[in-house]
Structure 1
Amino acid sequence: MSNRQLEHTDHLEGQDKKKKSKRQISLLAHDITVPMNVGSLFRISDALGIEKIYLSGETPTPPNNKIRKTSRSTEKYVPFETIENPVEVIQQLKQENCLIIALEITSDSIPLQELKLEQDQKVCLVLGSENTGVSQELLELSDITTHIPMLGKNSSMNVATACGIAVYGLTS
């Protein structure tokens, strides 16, 4: 029996051997109103080594039972900060040489697979509302806008799903 599903304890034993992401990544989640999506962002952040999540606007914050349930309690150890003004955070991150990347399909967005970044480039991925996407103000502050090419008839996907795809693309 060489190919077996690993138990959680098997995964924990391999933690020391895990490779860290080649890039420092944070998330800015602005106006994401569904607690389960926020919980998914925490779970994705834990799985893919996100350094910090900034929560702003109408985004619900821990403690929240729906966030906790979906995150599988990762909100307890993924660093996060509730912020009043996402513009100020973006400006601060830019001063720290962090590249601000909005995840949105726009007239100027680049397909995710075509992004060419320096290996050690610090990145903050900006995520927007489930209904209206990344606000125009945050788009204008972003250095790059990227999108995930859609192969079907719909032009978007769930924000947490898109985040997982984008972060995986940025870390691999």
Structure 2
Amino acid sequence: MKNKSTKSSLLFETREYSLGNEGPIIVAYQLKSPENMGHIIRLASNFGCRKVIFVGDELSVRASKIKKVAGAAQGQVEWSFVSEDCWMDSIDAGYELVAIETADNSNNIFLSNLKGKVAFLLGNEIYGLADELVQKCSQAVHIPMVGAIKSMNVSHACGVAMYEWVRQNLI
């Protein structure tokens, strides 16, 4: 049997998908890994995000590594670094802030309403989100884990959240 590979650009030339709402916003709080940042920018481009906001010090990460991992996506989606004291001002009006966190009050992401304008708040790779940040959100959602490991890489969690948002908003 001959091995066939699918060329995604050819596949999506014949299939058109559209969203019923403006794309989501990703807010990544105090990430340390430029690889995770690059992966998140790429995901943002894949899923039609409006923009990506990295909260923290731009000087503490290698921008060249972020751009290398993001590839062509880094020029396709708006992304920026903002300080801790003004990150909420960077979220466009009308967006609901949703934490992706295993908080006491979090709900299963697959049972949560994520329709419309959503800004997803992701936490640091080691510490996640502090309770006071989760409390700023209208809701907190978690990704159910059925395997032995009960935590997920932040960029992978972002991918799950983006997929669920698109699933709920695709028309």
TM-score tier after normalising by the smaller chain length: 0.7 to 0.9
* Native 8 Å contact 2:25 2:91 kept in 1: no
Task: State the distance in 2 between where 1:114 and 1:63 align.
Answer: 37
TM-score (norm 2): 0.83
Instruction: Output aligned runs, 1:85-104, within 5 Å.
Output: 85=84, 88-90=86-88, 93=91, 96-104=93-101
Q: Encode CA deviations 1:87-120: one digit per residue, 9 max, x unaligned.
A: 64436647x2211000000110000111024x4x
Distance 2:80 2:7 in 1: 32
How far, CA to CA, are the matches of 1:52 and 1:150 in structure 2? 28
Contact kept, 8 Å, 2:26 with 2:52, in 1: the verdict is yes
Q: 2:18 maps to which residue?
A: 20
1:137 deviation in Å?
2.6
Counterpart residue identity of residue 51, structure 1: R
1:55 aligns with 54
SS in 1 for 2:158: helix
Classify the secondary structure of the residue corresponding to 1:72. helix
Alignment length, in residue pairs?
Answer: 165
1:108 correspondence with 2:120: no
Normalising by structure 1, what TM-score?
Answer: 0.83
Gaps of 5+ in 2: none
Cα distance in 1, alignment partners of residues 63 and 90 from structure 2: 28
* Identity score, percent: 24
Structure 1 residue runs without a partner (length 5+): none
**1:134 partnered with 2:129:** yes
Deviates more, 1:19-28 or 1:46-55: 19-28
Residue aligning to 1:163:
158
2:135 counterpart SS class: helix
The alignment partner of 2:165 has SS state of helix
Find the residue that maps to 2:38 and give its secondary structure. Answer: helix
1:31-77: CA deviation from partner (whole Å, max 9, x where unpaired): 11000000100111111111100111146799722212211231122
